[in-house]
Amino acid sequence: MKFLDHARVEIRSGAGGRGCVSFRREKFVEFGGPDGGDGGKGGDVWAEAVDGLNTLIDYRYQQHFFAKNGQPGMGKQRTGKSADDVVLKVPVGTEILDDDGETLVADLTRVGERVLLARGGNGGWGNLHFKTSTNQAPRNANPGLEGVERTLWLRLKLIADAGLVGLPNAGKSTFLAATTNARPKVADYPFTTLHPGLGVVGIDGTEFVLADIPGLIEGASEGRGLGDTFLGHVERCAVLIHLVDGTSETLAEDYEVILGELEAYGEGLAEKPRLLGLNKVDALSPEDAEAAAEILAEVSGLTVHRLSGATGLGVQEMLRAVRAEIDAARVVAAAEDREVGTWRP
């Protein structure tokens, strides 16, 4: 299935049915009076986060979602049938934005969350509602209210606990394949990863979700390479795993490029907890690996984890460090939820 994380949709709720003008006409009932029923309610348009979806590809082939109108009222005080609702099923992690692409309408981060995007129009009153002591035969009824028409953007941000960032060919896909059951494309040329990927990591009897995104290059924030829009998929991560190719001759510059792109993207990515991994140490001698680790430690001020996604060297130690960061972030998030009264045990 092709990955798609942006989609534009046109929605319209249904209009309410018009009220009915009718009079009771029965044998032996001389003054029957008005008995026009109300119109039915127009259908609403909802969005719901569902399990089992990880792409917005369905909205590439269908962009228009129009609810039906309510049926008009009928005589004998019969109310018109209300129209069925229309539900847009989206993956967990989908943001819904207004037509300007910036105003956030809703952020669906849990399975089963629903949001009303367009309310259907109420049905009009039949002439029965207009009966008074001075107007016992009203011949007017209300039309139903019009529906709401909107243009919206759907933007998917994957729900993951940790995210991989780095230059192309830093070994991110190899790391993902070595630690999860995901099978991303791995090759010896840049930009083998064209779409984000997810995998579930198992470590010490616990699990967490790891996201891999296409590699960043200098100027990605200005549109170079594949750009930096894929960074949206690691915005929700508790920790970033920054992999640096240990065989590179420009280790310090490689590190600075990624840090600069994170800062240029914004959204707090540069301030997120980061674990720095010197990858591909299996291709280095012990002396060269030590020298490379010292260079990265000096330029970053972080602890440098030496590892190899290809051989598994140092991978378990890195995963345990990632797990510790995720646990710490969850403790903080739970405390914040309790403060605002949204904590769920």
How do residues 133-160 score in pLDDT, each as one tens digit? 899 999 999 999 999 999 999 999 888 8
Residue 342 in this model has a pLDDT that exceeds 60: no
* Cα Rg, the chain, nearest whole Å: 29
Rounded-to-5 percentages of helix, strand, coil across the chain: 25, 25, 50
Q: What is the DSSP letter of 23?
A: B
> Quick one: 11 exposed, middle or buried, by C-beta within 10 A (0-12, 13-18, 19+)?
buried
Largest CA distance in the chain: 109
Residue 337 in this model has a pLDDT that exceeds 80: no
Interatomic CA distance for residues 130 and 140, integer angstroms: 8
How do residues 197-207 score in pLDDT, each as one tens digit? 888 899 888 88
Convert 128-146 to b/e letters by CB count within 10 Å (16 or more is b). bbbeeeeeeebeebbbbbe
Q: Mark the binding-site residues for Mg(2+), compressed into ranges.
A: 173, 193
> Quick one: 115 exposed, middle or buried, by C-beta within 10 A (0-12, 13-18, 19+)?
middle
How do residues 226-282 score in pLDDT, each as one tens digit? 777 888 888 889 999 999 999 988 999 999 999 999 999 988 888 899 999 999 999
pTM attached to this predicted model: 0.79
Q: Mark the binding-site residues, compressed into ranges.
A: 166-173, 191-195, 212-215, 279-282, 308-310
Average pLDDT, the chain: 89
Residue 1 in this model has a pLDDT that exceeds 80: no
Q: 119 or 235, which is more confident? A: 119
Residue 222 in this model has a pLDDT that exceeds 50: yes
Half-sphere exposure of 232 (CA within 13 A, CB side): 13
Residue 34 burial (CB count, 10 A) = 24
Interatomic CA distance for residues 174 and 164, integer angstroms: 11
Interatomic CA distance for residues 70 and 85, integer angstroms: 11
Mind giving me the DSSP string for 311-330? T-TTHHHHHHHHHHHHHHHH
Three-state SS annotation for 80-111:
CCCCCCEEEEEECCEEEECCCCCCEEEEECCC
Mind giving me the DSSP string for 119-146? PPPPPPPPGGGG--SS-SS----PPPPP
Q: With beta carbons less than 8 A apart as the criterion, state whether 294 and 262 touch.
A: no
Q: Which domains does the chain have, with CATH numbers?
A: 1-156 (2.70.210.12), 162-340 (3.40.50.300)
Task: Enumerate residues 6+ apart whose C-beta is below 8 A from 305.
Answer: 275, 276, 277, 278, 314, 317, 318, 321
Q: Mark the binding-site residues for GTP, compressed into ranges.
A: 166-173, 191-195, 212-215, 279-282, 308-310
Weakest-pLDDT range from 49-58, 294-303, 322-331, 334-343 = 334-343
Q: How far is CA 162 from CA 176, 256, 277, 287, in A?
A: 11, 21, 14, 31
Alpha helices, H only, the chain: 58-61, 172-179, 251-265, 286-300, 315-340
